[in-house]
Structure 1
Amino acid sequence: MTLRIRISWPAGHTTATLDETPTSKALLGALPIASTAHTWGEEVYFDTPVSTAVEDDARQVVEPGTVAFWTEGDALALPYGPTPISRGSECRLASPCNLLGSLDGDPRVLATVRDGDPIRVERAEP
């Protein structure tokens, strides 16, 4: 079963393909989500109504375009480049996050998200 979401904001949108994990299933069950974008270096994150535990494969350093869930903030975290705590060009999240999947296409599209932008997440058509 392919799980896909669409993330949209005033200047653009992207889609992501999610793996079947407890957190991704909880996220899908909460869609659609309307939230406010926050930026932290080259990462976009935003609050969700989902609250979940840290999974066994949670990681702090991930590839650009990873769709991660920050359990400490109940937020989706979408890194596309270095954050303020990165070493070099790595994508280092604030703390270990659950890995949900990855963005389809170039994650640099997230550079058009501005702090405070309204952001929406919904199911994408397969």
Structure 2
Amino acid sequence: MRISISWGGGSVTADLDSTPTSEALWAALPIESSANTWGEEVYFDVPVQADPEDGATDSVEPGTVCYWLAGSALALPFGPTPLSRGAESRLASAANVLGRVDGDHRALAAVRDGDTVRVDRA
């Protein structure tokens, strides 16, 4: 499953693994939401409810596409967050790992609080 994540200043694509949460996200597309930023992470509400999956974690590599369980949100870390140790991306709490941004995940640095973010099937 390939998705496109776009905002006024740019876009990235991502490949999702086949997981229950990824399938629920795919079924809900297209989605528009308002972006929030936290350190070097973009996150936004999505109309998906999910339970923790095997491998749910709060520490991921930059560029990982995550479903943040506590916030029912898509979380897109592209670098360190306020809780990170070193180069890791540490989320505020556990998330299901859905996939990975293709190419340069640092493009997400252009997203600002309040930007409209759209997720589509690519």
TM-score bracket, normalised by the shorter chain, equals over 0.9
**How many angstroms apart in 2 are the aligned matches of 1:119 and 1:111?**
13
**How many angstroms apart in 1 are the aligned matches of 2:99 and 2:84?**
21
RMSD of aligned residue pairs (Cα, Å): 0.6
Q: How far off its partner does 1:106 sit?
A: 0.7
SS in 2 for 1:110: helix
Stretches of structure 1 lacking an aligned partner (at least 5 in a row): none
Q: How far off its partner does 1:89 sit?
A: 2.0
Q: 1:47 matched to which residue of 2?
A: 45
Q: How far off its partner does 1:90 sit?
A: 1.3
**How many angstroms apart in 1 are the aligned matches of 2:8 and 2:95?**
26
2:9 corresponds, among 1, 8, 11, to: 11
SS in 2 for 1:45: strand
Stretches of structure 2 lacking an aligned partner (at least 5 in a row): none
Does residue 117 of the first structure (1) align with residue 115 of the second (2)?
yes
Post-superposition Cα deviations, 1:38-67, rounded to whole Å, max 9, x if no partner, equal: 000000000000011011111111011000
**How many angstroms apart in 1 are the aligned matches of 2:11 and 2:17?**
20
Q: How far off its partner does 1:88 sit?
A: 1.9
- In the TM superposition, structure 1's runs of 4+ consecutive aligned residues that sit over 6 Å from their partners are none
Q: TM-score, with normalisation over the residues of structure 2? A: 0.98
Q: 2:99 matched to which residue of 1?
A: 101
Q: How many residues align?
A: 122
Q: TM-score, with normalisation over the residues of structure 1? A: 0.95
